[in-house]
Amino acid sequence: MSNSVPEGWAESKLGSIAKLTMGQSPSSDTYNDQGVGLPFFQGKADFGSRTPKVRYWCSQPSKVAEANSILFSVRAPVGEVNLTPYECCIGRGLAGIKAESADQEYLFQKLQFVKPKFGLLSQGSTFEAVNGSEMREFPLVIPPLPEQQKIAAILSSVDDVIEKTRAQIDKLKDLKTGMMQELLTKGIGHTAFKDSPVGRIPEGWNVECLENISEKISDGIHSTPKYAEKSDYRFVNGNNLKGGHIVYGDSAKYVPLDEYNKHKKALTNGTILMSINGTIGNLAFYRGEEVVLGKSAAYISLNEGQSKEFVYFVLQSQAVKTFYELELTGSTINNLSLRSVKNTPIPLPPKKEQRKIAGILAEIDKGICQRNSKLNQFSSLKKALMQDLLTGKVRVNVDNKENAVA
């Protein structure tokens, strides 16, 4: 036995501890969205965070996965998993896995943990995929059943908290969407309304192009800057803008001081940054960061006294998103021109009402941010627990002392 196998654990193969059902696509004329037949899942596109989302049904399934089966993505991205709570039809992008001599929840957690190894297994082929033989022969090191069950209970309890937190975030996002629609079209306490370029708005509101309430609207450099291995100055593009903040991530690029001085823009406390290439409309407030902007990041420096918080929420509204969709150029990668940004229609209440509306929406954003922070904490905890428990680095106590080390 390998020295890497914890005491009391055993080396096995996936096909030895579980029944595998490789998917097969049924005839396309048996698909429907009317709920006729079994739920039909084709691949990762149907997956949720833990359970799949039913979009189609199949009246004559070719391959069926049992209820509570693990659905395993056998095509790119290889190794993604979900648990189906019901019997379902599976297409050729999936395999159904049902534990026979192992705990099903434990196996679900274990397959999540070893996903990178399946990725390595699928490399080298023209199309990233794994077949049934490769899956059945896939090696696993597993503890005795009581220890499996205890590990599964611990990890699934963290999953439950993660799911509840995600549900809270989704509810707050729905609330925000509804409140934005209400507040940015009807305002607070109005009874009289008028027609406008953005639809019906309260009497006393105006509509202005974004350019008319801004000191300057432009974008970043259209060339590749000189990078530094490390410095106090960052290079920022549209993909670094998220949820009102500049997010650098692990792949952040740095520029030296001379490059920063050469390319820095006159950004102010009233500046909003927006992505205009690729993903359109991601936003961030400028908070004094020492950055060089790339061409996919536009900056909107508002007039003094204009509420940047109010404009920030208007730029997230469905009306503005629809306007931008009609203005997009580029066949492969979406692009929003600066002219379109400047022409963005902005409904403007009196400044006091702007501040009230922004304050209400900011409170909802605050709640979303707090729960996102908790979600990140729980996700980090889950990752650490998986590393400890699924490798045997940390052993759990079970009732049968012969099957686990305290």
Residues 6 or more apart whose CB falls under 8 angstroms from that of 319 comprise 184, 185, 198, 199, 345
CA distances from 89 to 18, 19, 26, 255 (A): 19, 16, 9, 52
Quote the pLDDT of residue 405: 40
59 plus 85 within the same structural domain: yes
Q: Which domain holds residue 361?
A: 143-192+350-406
Q: Please report whether residue 200 resides in a domain.
A: no
Indicate whether 271 belongs to any domain. Answer: yes
Answer yes or no: do 22 and 41 share one domain.
yes
The helix or strand, by DSSP H or E, that contains position 65, with its residue range, turns out to be strand 64-65
Would you say residue 1 lies in a domain? no
Does 301 share its domain with 340?
A: yes
Q: What is the pLDDT of residue 125?
A: 58
Residue 1: per-residue pLDDT: 42
Contact 54, 60 (CB under 8 A): no
Give the model's pLDDT for residue 214: 98
Does 197 fall in a domain? no
Residue 69 CB coordination number (10 Å): 28
**Per-residue confidence in pLDDT tens, the chain, 406 aa:** 455 799 999 999 999 999 999 999 999 999 999 999 999 999 999 999 999 999 999 999 999 999 999 999 999 999 999 999 999 999 999 999 999 999 999 999 999 999 999 988 876 555 789 999 999 999 999 999 999 999 999 999 999 999 999 999 999 999 999 999 999 999 999 999 999 999 999 999 999 999 999 999 999 999 999 999 999 999 999 999 999 999 998 888 999 999 999 999 999 999 999 999 999 999 999 999 999 999 999 999 999 999 999 999 999 999 999 999 999 998 789 999 999 999 999 999 999 999 999 999 999 999 999 999 999 999 999 999 999 999 999 999 987 544 444 3
Domain closes at, from 101, 127, 142: 142
Q: How many CB atoms lie within 10 A of CB 305?
A: 8
CA dist 89 and 91 (Å) reads 7
Q: Tell whether 152 and 135 lie within a shared domain.
A: no
In angstroms, the Cα distances linking 67 to 10, 31, 46, 147, 194 are 27, 20, 16, 24, 55
Q: How far, in Å, CA of 241 to CA of 253, rounded?
A: 14
